């Protein structure tokens, strides 16, 4: 196994060009939405995730105004680590009368599965 560029994590956690994989689970209006993004940190991942939601605009009730307000509010206090767990955070938001909660998980990728994945 080759060392990671920062020598603190196995190389497969860094993914493409030093980016980590984050999984977002959003609870919104009695539904659960899951998505994944790559970013260098959990805060940057939240920004990318929010921008992707804005671009796709596919969650009914979570309109562009709410997402823009959410994106503007992202800072180091947006997510809180879960007690006793590593690499998993919780978040919640409220914009006017729209609210949601969720989790962010820094997702380990198995290098053998990643290397054998074929995309058509």
pLDDT at site 24: 95
Residue 41 is assigned to a structural domain of this protein: yes
Please state the domain count of the chain.
Answer: 1
Residue 119 is assigned to a structural domain of this protein: no
pLDDT at site 17: 62
- CA gap 80, 105 in Å, rounded: 12
Confidence of residue 80 (pLDDT cuts 50, 70, 90): very high
Residue 95 is assigned to a structural domain of this protein: yes
Confidence of residue 112 (pLDDT cuts 50, 70, 90): low
Confidence of residue 108 (pLDDT cuts 50, 70, 90): confident
| Measured CA distances, 101 to 33, 90, 91, 112 (Å) | 11, 8, 6, 33
Residue 104 is assigned to a structural domain of this protein: yes
Say if residues 57 and 66 touch (Cβ distance below 8 Å).
no
Residue 69 is assigned to a structural domain of this protein: yes
Q: Which residue has the higher pLDDT, 27 or 120?
A: 27
Q: Which domain holds residue 81?
A: 11-108
Residue 53 is assigned to a structural domain of this protein: yes
Confidence of residue 118 (pLDDT cuts 50, 70, 90): very low
pLDDT tens, 22-71? Answer: 999 999 999 999 999 999 999 999 999 999 998 987 888 888 888 888 88
Residue 3 is assigned to a structural domain of this protein: no
Residue 2 is assigned to a structural domain of this protein: no
Average of per-residue pLDDT across 5-20: 53
């Amino acid at each position: 196994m080759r060392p990671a560029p920062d020598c603190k994590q196995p190389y497969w956690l860094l993914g493409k060009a030093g980016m980590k994989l984050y999984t977002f689970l959003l609870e919104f209006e009695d539904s659960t939405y899951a998505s994944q993004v790559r970013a260098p940190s959990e805060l940057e991942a939240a920004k990318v995730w929010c921008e992707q939601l804005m671009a796709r605009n596919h969650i009914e009730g979570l309109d562009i105004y709410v997402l823009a307000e959410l994106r503007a509010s992202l800072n180091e206090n947006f997510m809180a680590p879960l007690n006793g767990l590593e690499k998993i955070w919780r978040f919640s938001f409220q914009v006017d009368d729209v609210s949601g909660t969720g989790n962010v998980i820094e997702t380990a990728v198995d290098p053998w599965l990643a290397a054998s994945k074929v995309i058509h």
